[in-house]
Chain A
């Protein structure tokens, strides 16, 4: 997964959201249509053109106190309107690590 930290030009090819980490605790958050942040991907504002993506990112970036490092991430829209992460990186951010965290006690 190419790191979104290296994201320079904004050109999207499918449905996308803006995601970041919440400033006070680092939790994964998504920009909502109400100009806020949510920890639920389902609440995110979904954009499908590069202009809209740029605008959403600009608005999210302006909220420097609320969240850190916003970037555009791809999503998949399933039947019934359900939103799924668009790649493995975003899947891991949304669902957590892919490994069993249990360490023997």
Chain B
């Protein structure tokens, strides 16, 4: 956990007071909506179909039990008793009243949570691996660097009015769980030949109506130089990025139009021209941030405790353990993923009661810490293996032990037309129907790892381009239709999916997805070959033929 200092607390509290005054002036008519809009967006407040939507940041996906309880309180007191975890380690509340928002923000500020820069054309929440600090083989905890970047870019005047929103993600593990290649800047921590820790810097990733996978512009930037290098990238973007056309304003368009070599050259020249602007991080500055992260006092525990051996005969427990429990860097401990994808449920939603209960379980079994992943699930990062059987029973009672992590029903979905003012079609009902179709866990296990991503419009909040199966809602003559892509992926081998055929109407989507999965099962060369690898080996055509032959 990161402990905020007095400066952080003052900043957050002042922001609440400022926004309270802005809301008051808006409600009295002193501020027009045009004047107020930019102010509310800078505080995470959108206007959606039914109400204001309030997006709260969960920096690098780390929450304390106290913070999660406070989120539950906001859901209960100011909303309709639930929240929605997003693909960028935020939580959204869908039914907030503007008049009550300052109170909600003040309640959150008491536990160090805020909504600054969760919307608007600025530097958004810096995201990271939800297993940061506990994943085996990690170079080092990427949250240290996420926090350094967060501090530097929060309310930074040069980055508060960018041509468009700007997103950074950081990973330090071999397997990328932070989807860094679909971010404006992706940072991969690694060590160079001299053993020094630094970053591979990727730029220009992003989805939306013009999707791109980020490209590497510098294989290694040392940790001490990362702020100045990011600043150089942003200066080039600020100078050349288009402000005349919202659809061409993201840095990915600039990188594409300039070409990666030219863009990299511009950044290097800017970086050199900047000289020493006081952004070089010395050892003391880095260690100061590092020292504010606390880590559990782990016990020395056996690799295979008796409790785990005794529970092995319980088939339900074993199924869940194999699916949702992952290796931890400390012997005797595990990382436990809590699926927010129950059969028939809206992906990523959690009730206030669930949040409170998870906070209690975190206190009891995970040193009071919870993580939020971009796949819209939660995790308890420090669970002693001996506690897994009793934790499973508790999670099962809460509906948080669906053994479907990374399987076909672990669907990423945006809120879609049920909530979003930008959406063309619904996402959640499609996801719900698919979870019912694939509700049999034996079938889901047989299919293996398969990520389905659903977006209700081209803005791609459900990351459909990089789903193994991607579903995009569009409108045709007032009806909901869905384009389906296959072969995308968001990990270290990120790539965009390929359209498999004509768009299909709402009522046929689940049938088509079932047919795609059946085609894969018939075409894979062995049970271990993942869906996305079969698509890579064979291309789209053999699957297209089977799925569309009778349509």
Please indicate whether A and B come from the same complex rather than being unrelated chains.
yes
Q: Are A104 and B51 in contact (CB under 8 A)?
A: no
Q: Are A87 and B422 in contact (CB under 8 A)?
A: no
Residues of chain B lying within 8 A (CB to CB) of residue A26: 47-48, 50-52, 95-98
Q: Are A68 and B47 in contact (CB under 8 A)?
A: yes
Q: If A5-B422, A104-B354 touch, does A21 touch B47 (CB 8 Å cutoff)?
A: yes
- Nearest Cβ distance between residue B355 and chain A, in whole angstroms? 10
Residues of chain A lying within 8 A (CB to CB) of residue B99: 24-25
Residues of chain B lying within 8 A (CB to CB) of residue A68: 33, 47
Q: Does A59 interact with chain B (Cβ within 8 Å)?
A: no
Residues of chain B lying within 8 A (CB to CB) of residue A101: 80, 82, 346
Identify which of B80, B354, B419 contacts A105 (C-beta below 8 A): B354
| C-alpha spacing A92/B420, complex, angstroms | 10
Q: Does B418 interact with chain A (Cβ within 8 Å)?
A: yes
Q: Does B32 interact with chain A (Cβ within 8 Å)?
A: yes
The bracket for how many chain A residues form the interface is 20 to 34
| C-alpha spacing A21/B53, complex, angstroms | 12
- Nearest Cβ distance between residue B459 and chain A, in whole angstroms? 10
| C-alpha spacing A104/B82, complex, angstroms | 10
Q: Does A64 interact with chain B (Cβ within 8 Å)?
A: yes
Identify which of B33, B49, B95, B98 contacts A89 (C-beta below 8 A): B49
Q: B-facing mask of A85-104, CB < 8 A → 1, else 0?
A: 00111001100111111011
| C-alpha spacing A104/B357, complex, angstroms | 12
Q: Are A104 and B417 in contact (CB under 8 A)?
A: no
Q: From B27, which residue of chain A is reached at the shortest CB distance?
A: A24
| C-alpha spacing A28/B50, complex, angstroms | 6
Q: Tell me the number of A-to-B contacts counted with CB atoms below 8 Å.
A: 103
Residues of chain A lying within 8 A (CB to CB) of residue B346: 99, 101, 103
Residues of chain A lying within 8 A (CB to CB) of residue B96: 26
Q: B-facing mask of A56-69, CB < 8 A → 1, else 0?
A: 00000000110011
Q: A-facing mask of B414-439, CB < 8 A → 1, else 0?
A: 00011101111110110010000000
| C-alpha spacing A88/B96, complex, angstroms | 23
Q: Does B406 interact with chain A (Cβ within 8 Å)?
A: no
Q: Does B29 interact with chain A (Cβ within 8 Å)?
A: yes
B residues near A, CB below 8 A?
Answer: 26-29, 32-33, 47-52, 80, 82, 95-99, 342, 344-346, 349-351, 353-354, 398-400, 417-419, 421-426, 428-429, 432, 475, 478, 480
Q: Are B98 and A23 in contact (CB under 8 A)?
A: yes
Q: Are B33 and A69 in contact (CB under 8 A)?
A: yes
Q: Are B27 and A23 in contact (CB under 8 A)?
A: yes
- Nearest Cβ distance between residue B24 and chain A, in whole angstroms? 11
Residues of chain B lying within 8 A (CB to CB) of residue A93: 49-50
- Nearest Cβ distance between residue A38 and chain B, in whole angstroms? 16
Q: Are A89 and B417 in contact (CB under 8 A)?
A: yes
Q: If A97-B418, A104-B399 touch, does A25 touch B98 (CB 8 Å cutoff)?
A: yes
Q: Are A98 and B426 in contact (CB under 8 A)?
A: yes
Q: Are B475 and A1 in contact (CB under 8 A)?
A: yes
Q: Are A3 and B421 in contact (CB under 8 A)?
A: yes
User: Could you list some 22 contacts between A and B, CB below 8 A?
Assistant: A1-B478, A25-B99, A26-B96, A28-B49, A64-B29, A64-B32, A65-B28, A88-B417, A89-B417, A92-B49, A92-B417, A92-B418, A93-B49, A98-B418, A99-B346, A99-B418, A103-B354, A103-B399, A104-B342, A104-B398, A104-B399, A105-B354
Q: Does A27 interact with chain B (Cβ within 8 Å)?
A: yes
Q: From A104, which residue of chain B is reached at the shortest CB distance?
A: B399
- Nearest Cβ distance between residue A37 and chain B, in whole angstroms? 14
Chain A CB within 10 Å, residue with most, of B29, B49, B475 = B49
- Nearest Cβ distance between residue A85 and chain B, in whole angstroms? 12
